[in-house]
A = this chain, B = another copy of it.
Amino acid sequence: MRSTSRTETFPAHTPAASQIFTTVLSHGPLTRLEAARRAGLSAAAVTKAVRPLLADGYLVEAADEGARPALGRPASLVRVDGGRALFIGVKVTGGELIGVLTDLCCRIRLARRVPLTDRATRAVLASTAELAHELLVEAEDFGAPVLGLGVAVSGEVDRAEGAVRYSPFLDWRDVPLAELAATTTGLPVTVENDVRALTVAEQWFGAGAGLSDFAVVTVGAGIGCGLVVNGRVVAGAHGVAGEIGHVTVDPAGPPCHCGNRGCVEAIAGEAAIVSRIREATGIPVADATEAVRLAHQGVAGVREVYARAGEAIGRGIATVANLLGPERVIISGEGLAAYDLFAEQIRDAFTAAAFGSAARCDVQTRPLPFEEWARGAAATAIQSFISSDHPHLSR
The chain A residues found within 8 Å of chain B, CB to CB, are 156, 165-166, 168, 211-213, 225, 227, 229-230, 232, 234-244, 246-252, 258-260, 315, 318-327, 352-353, 355-358, 360-361
Contact = CB atoms under 8 A, between A and B. Distances in A.
Contact of A356 (B232, B243, B352, B353): B243
Nearest to A360: B238
A247 B322 CA distance: 7
Contacts of A234: 229-230, 324-325
Contacts of A246: 322, 353, 355
Given A229-B230, A319-B248, A235 B325 contact: yes
Given A246-B322, A247-B323, A352-B260, A212 B229 contact: no
26 contacts: A165-B357, A166-B357, A211-B237, A212-B237, A227-B323, A229-B230, A229-B234, A235-B325, A236-B326, A236-B358, A237-B327, A238-B325, A238-B327, A239-B357, A240-B322, A241-B325, A242-B323, A243-B323, A246-B322, A247-B319, A248-B315, A249-B251, A250-B251, A251-B315, A258-B355, A260-B352
Contacts of A322: 240, 243-244, 246-247
Given A323-B319, A325-B241, A352-B259, A232 B230 contact: yes
Contacts of A319: 247-248, 319, 323
A252 B252 contact: yes
Given A236-B358, A238-B327, A240-B325, 4 more contacts: A227-B324, A230-B230, A243-B355, A248-B319
Contacts of A320: 323
A232 B324 CA distance: 13
Q: Which of A234, A318, A320, A355 has the most CB atoms of chain B within a 10 A radius of its CB?
A: A355
